[in-house]
């Protein structure tokens, strides 16, 4: 049961995290605690995430790295991917800069008129950027993330953001759950107003346009989670609407036409009104 009013998210234990290399070999990700980080914390994290703790970072390959400041995911020995992935909700400058118009579109797509703090389920939470934005615009957001490493990065970002008093009200509206939304959506104890889906777009790893953080996130993508059944499960909940982020020219998810779309420069939001609302989804054969 997901209790939407409760304060604490759960953590899925002992979930082995694997990623596929370019040659499709399966690699388990090591976890390394940098000097200054408590050994107990690294050990607990490794156990919770199903990762193997290492005493020294490898020279190449993926790595979950705990530093004194934050938890990061990186891949070593690849000059094209020299950065690291972490979650930071405190960097207002970056937030203002980043894709302001696409973000405004998301708020318009999710908006529920006349309801204070509607409940929104972000069923593909990822690094929580969209979910955080929605919470900042008044939604109570339940974030669900299936990948334990991504969820741990997100949890770490939320934890650090809690130190900032100006974010207190926004964070009070966010809950994080680790697990597969397909299994968790039917367990909600409150009918959500909106279910939001942002499944990973098809891989374009060779494109220079794909930013480093997205490429790192793609490395962690669990290929076993197909997005089509998630849309079917979301529609079955009977929320006021289901909103799906898609590439601007991508096909409708699962071939199901939305009631309407909001289009940006590179992406669009497909909006599926719930039962009893004006527009209902149409299956395209």
148-161 and 212-220 helices, crossing angle to 10°? 130
Interaction of residue 216 with ligand SAM, rule CB under 6 A: no
Q: Give the integer Cα–Cα distance in Å for 63 and 87.
A: 16
Interaction of residue 225 with ligand SAM, rule CB under 6 A: yes
Per CB under 6 A, the list member of 17, 49, 120, 150 interacting with ligand SAM is 150
Query: Would you say 126 and 213 are in contact if contact means Cβ atoms under 8 Å apart?
Result: no
**Minimum distance between the CB of residue 179 and ligand SAM, rounded to whole angstroms?**
7
Interaction of residue 130 with ligand SAM, rule CB under 6 A: yes
Interaction of residue 222 with ligand SAM, rule CB under 6 A: yes
Interaction of residue 270 with ligand SAM, rule CB under 6 A: no
**Minimum distance between the CB of residue 221 and ligand SAM, rounded to whole angstroms?**
6
Q: Give the integer Cα–Cα distance in Å for 211 and 124.
A: 19
Per CB under 6 A, the list member of 230, 242, 256, 267 interacting with ligand SAM is 230
Instruction: Give the interface size with ligand SAM as a residue count (CB under 6 A).
Output: 21
Strand order, beta sheet including 267-273: 174-178, 140-145, 119-122, 194-197, 241-247, 267-273, 260-263
Interaction of residue 42 with ligand SAM, rule CB under 6 A: no
160, containing H or E segment: helix 148-161
- Find the residue with minimal CB distance to ligand SAM: 126
Q: Give the integer Cα–Cα distance in Å for 140 and 192.
A: 10
Interaction of residue 200 with ligand SAM, rule CB under 6 A: yes
SS (H, E, C) 6-68: CCCCCCCCCCCCEEECCCCCEEECEEEECCCCCHHHHHHHHHHHCCEEECCCCCCEEEEEECC
Interaction of residue 231 with ligand SAM, rule CB under 6 A: no
Determine the interface stretch with ligand SAM among 53-61, 198-206, 257-265, 267-275 (rule: CB under 6 A): 198-206
What does DSSP say about strands 174-178 and 140-145: parallel, antiparallel, or unpaired? parallel
Per CB under 6 A, the list member of 42, 75, 147, 240 interacting with ligand SAM is 147
Interaction of residue 198 with ligand SAM, rule CB under 6 A: yes
Interaction of residue 267 with ligand SAM, rule CB under 6 A: no
**Minimum distance between the CB of residue 102 and ligand SAM, rounded to whole angstroms?**
10
SS (H, E, C) 241-279: EEEEEEECCCCCHHHEECCEEEECCCEEEEEEECCCCCC
Per CB under 6 A, the list member of 129, 140, 241, 268 interacting with ligand SAM is 129
**Minimum distance between the CB of residue 7 and ligand SAM, rounded to whole angstroms?**
21
Cβ proximity to ligand SAM: between 180 and 240 the closer is 180
* Residue 152 buriedness (CB in 10 A; 0-12 / 13-18 / 19+): buried
Report the interface residues with ligand SAM, using CB under 6 A.
Answer: 123-124, 126-130, 144-147, 150, 180-182, 198-200, 222, 225, 230
């Amino acid at each position: 049961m997901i209790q939407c009013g409760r304060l604490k998210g759960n953590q899925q234990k002992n979930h082995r995290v694997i990623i596929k290399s370019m040659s499709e070999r399966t690699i388990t990700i090591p976890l390394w605690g940098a000097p200054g980080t408590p050994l107990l914390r690294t050990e607990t994290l490794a156990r919770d995430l199903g990762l193997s703790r290492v005493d020294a970072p490898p020279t190449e390959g993926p790595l979950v790295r705990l530093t004194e400041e934050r938890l990061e995911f990186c891949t070593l020995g690849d000059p094209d991917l020299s950065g690291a992935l972490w979650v930071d909700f405190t960097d207002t400058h970056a937030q203002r800069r980043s894709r302001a118009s696409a973000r405004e579109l998301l708020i318009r797509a999710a908006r529920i008129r006349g309801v204070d703090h509607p409940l929104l389920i972000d069923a593909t939470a990822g690094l929580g950027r969209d979910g955080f934005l929605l919470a900042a615009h008044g939604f109570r957001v339940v974030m669900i993330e299936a990948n334990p490493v991504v969820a741990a990065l997100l949890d770490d970002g939320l934890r650090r953001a809690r130190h900032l008093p100006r974010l207190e009200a926004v964070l009070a509206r966010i809950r994080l759950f680790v697990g597969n939304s397909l299994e968790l959506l039917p367990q909600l104890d409150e009918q959500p107003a909106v279910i939001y889906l942002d499944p990973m777009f098809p891989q374009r790893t060779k494109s220079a346009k794909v930013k480093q953080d997205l490429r790192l996130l793609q490395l962690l993508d669990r290929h076993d989670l197909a997005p089509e059944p998630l849309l079917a499960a979301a529609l079955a909940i009977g929320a006021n609407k289901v909103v799906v982020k898609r590439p601007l020219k991508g096909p409708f998810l699962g071939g199901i036409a939305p009631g309407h779309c909001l289009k940006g420069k590179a992406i669009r939001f497909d909006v599926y009104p719930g039962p009893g609302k004006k527009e209902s989804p149409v299956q395209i054969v």
